[in-house]
Chain A
Amino acid sequence: MRSAERSRQGALRAVGWTVFLGLVLFPSPSVETVVGNIVAPVAIPVAYVGAWAFQWLHPNPLISQDKDVERLAELPSVSLAEEEQKTGYPDPVSGLAWLEVPVVETDLERGRLWLAAGEDFALASGQAVVFGNYWVGRIGKVFEQRAEVELWIAPGARTGVELLRQGSSVSGVCLGRGQKALPLIRWIQPTGHPASGDRILWRASEEDPPALAKKKYLLGVLLRGGDESRGAGEWSADVALPLAVEGRVWVGAGAIGDSTVAEPSVRHAKCLPVLRGDAVLLGPWQSMIQEEPQFASALIWNGFALGAIKAQRSRYLWALGLTQEDWAEQGFPMRSSVTGFVSSFTRGGDGVPRGLQLGFSLPCSFEVLSGSETVHQSMEGEKE
């Protein structure tokens, strides 16, 4: 009997540890949230006592918080959205309205962008998508609050093109092959004589409005590749797709709703810093407590992103402050047309919204950027 009881307990323990290990190796956000909410009433008092002990043992912090605040205050504040709007807003087309839609997820490998609006914003399949004078693609699948853009470089995507050189043009079809391979230009008009360096412009289809068909949108520059000696030469396109299309695009629509800008709602919430530094992990960690428990994605101060929220236990948050090097892959620089300064911005993804101007240290007081679950979930799977 005793042996049976031991076996039963041993089996239970084995199952328990297997489950724990599975959850550690493959973290589940919903389980983490539940567990976080359970331990928060215990964790928060420990954090306060830890902060008190920290203050007692380190009355003079090694890094001057005032200096950080002064340094950040000197940085010019730039809005990425405004910069993108300046460069990306297309020329007006009669009978057509340009709907400005932020991008929440990119999958350049598959040639897809996911937009922060859908049927609720009068988006429909087949609509033209542009950025300034650049052709981006067409709206594909449309959902209630999301829509997919099929980029012209997407594998298998066919786009009618005109090859333009000093006034003369010849038509052809561009065949997308994804991000890693250059798109091919096929079925070029037999009477034409294309040459490397010709500009590749978008050519309207029969379904496009006549006013839009008169516009010229750039796809790239024509290149001659392949092995000519074997008769395997082929025309391809040197892609001209601005990096800013990862941020927002403009969709041509004949019918529009109340607004022409579909900016996702983002909220700010103040929080109280508690602990600076993690008891186990290395790096510039900061813990803080919100007034109300709500989803948080990024730590910002005075408009500058300082780090990403990595763990949330009810009102208790843990943020990892990121250095300039850390942001190198997640952020990108842009020169402001107003101030002339080069500022760095978040590219978006991993829960952090796009377009936050980057700061690189942790000052003494700050707030967290919180958004709706919809925005979080849509950002979560973003691939850079």
Chain B
Amino acid sequence: MRRDIRWRVALPISFFLVALQPALRAFPAGSFLPDFGLVLLFVFIPAVGSRSPWFPPILVFWVGAFRAGVSAISPLSSWAGFGLSILLRRWVHRQVSPHSFFLRFSVGVISAIPSTSMDALVSAQWGVAFPMEVFWARCLGVGLLWAFFTRPSSLRRGLRS
């Protein structure tokens, strides 16, 4: 039952926010916004203490599939980038204290690097520019959101899996 509730919340929100992303990117400076798929995964998948081992990979699969509708990037690339980011976030999160805003921000920025790097790699393969300022702005954006919305208390409640 609890699993049903979790999916009922995570999937529709991911579907609509990922679908909204192209429209938001089209605004001035929209290209600097963090990747919605990655932010949603960071919100729905706890950094530590995941009860079900299948919830994170299945959610990564769904968000990657949603992303394939709004981006030319291969779903394989999205899945690999998201997965690496989540693994890195779990590892880095265990190394530092979540009570410091700066450390939480650092965790978010560092964790966003694999996924954003995958996007940059695909851009390079297709000969499309992916400026460094866009790269870092997206990583910093994820870091800020992670630092603001995942305070120590929120890490132990809410949409835990």
Binding site for B on A (CB under 8 A): 9, 13, 16-17, 20-21, 23-25, 27, 31-32, 35-36, 39-40, 42-47, 49-50, 53-54, 56-58, 275, 277-283, 285, 287, 310-311, 313, 316, 318, 320, 326
Contacts and interface: CB of A to CB of B under 8 A. Distances in A.
Contacts of A283: 128-129
A135 to B, nearest CB: 36
Q: Which interface class (under 10, 10 to 19, 20 to 34, 35 or more) fits B?
A: 35 or more
A17 B83 contact: yes
Contact of B20 (A36, A43, A50): A50
B80 A320 contact: no
A49 B15 contact: yes
B69 A311 contact: no
A273 to B, nearest CB: 13
Given A20-B83, A278-B22, A279-B21, A44 B128 contact: no
A21 B74 CA distance: 12
Given A17-B84, A281-B123, A282-B129, A53 B19 contact: yes
Given A43-B68, A50-B20, A281-B73, 14 more contacts: A13-B87, A21-B80, A21-B84, A24-B74, A36-B74, A46-B18, A53-B22, A56-B23, A277-B22, A278-B71, A280-B35, A283-B129, A310-B126, A318-B71
A305 to B, nearest CB: 16
Contacts of A45: 69
Contacts of A58: 23, 26
Given A54-B22, A54-B26, A42 B66 contact: yes
Interface of B: 15-16, 18-27, 31, 35-36, 53, 62, 64-77, 79-81, 83-84, 87, 118-119, 121-123, 125-131, 134
A287 B22 CA distance: 11
B22 A46 contact: no
Contact of A279 (B18, B76, B128): B18
A129 B126 CA distance: 35
B26 A278 contact: no
Contacts of A24: 74, 76-77, 80-81, 118, 121-122
A316 B126 contact: no
Nearest to B73: A280
Contact of A23 (B22, B25, B76, B127): B76
Contacts of B36: 279
Given A45-B69, A282-B128, A316-B69, A54 B23 contact: yes
Contacts of A43: 65-66, 68-69
Contacts of A31: 76
Contacts of A278: 22, 25, 70-73
28 contacts: A13-B87, A16-B83, A17-B80, A17-B83, A20-B76, A23-B80, A24-B122, A25-B121, A39-B75, A46-B19, A46-B70, A53-B19, A53-B22, A54-B22, A54-B23, A54-B26, A57-B26, A58-B26, A277-B25, A279-B70, A279-B71, A280-B67, A282-B123, A285-B72, A310-B126, A313-B68, A318-B71, A320-B126
B107 to A, nearest CB: 20
Contacts of A16: 83
A277 B62 CA distance: 22
Contacts of A47: 19, 69-70
Among A9, A13, A275, A320, residue most surrounded by chain B Cβ atoms (within 10 Å) = A275
Given A39-B75, A46-B15, A311-B74, A277 B26 contact: yes
B5 to A, nearest CB: 21
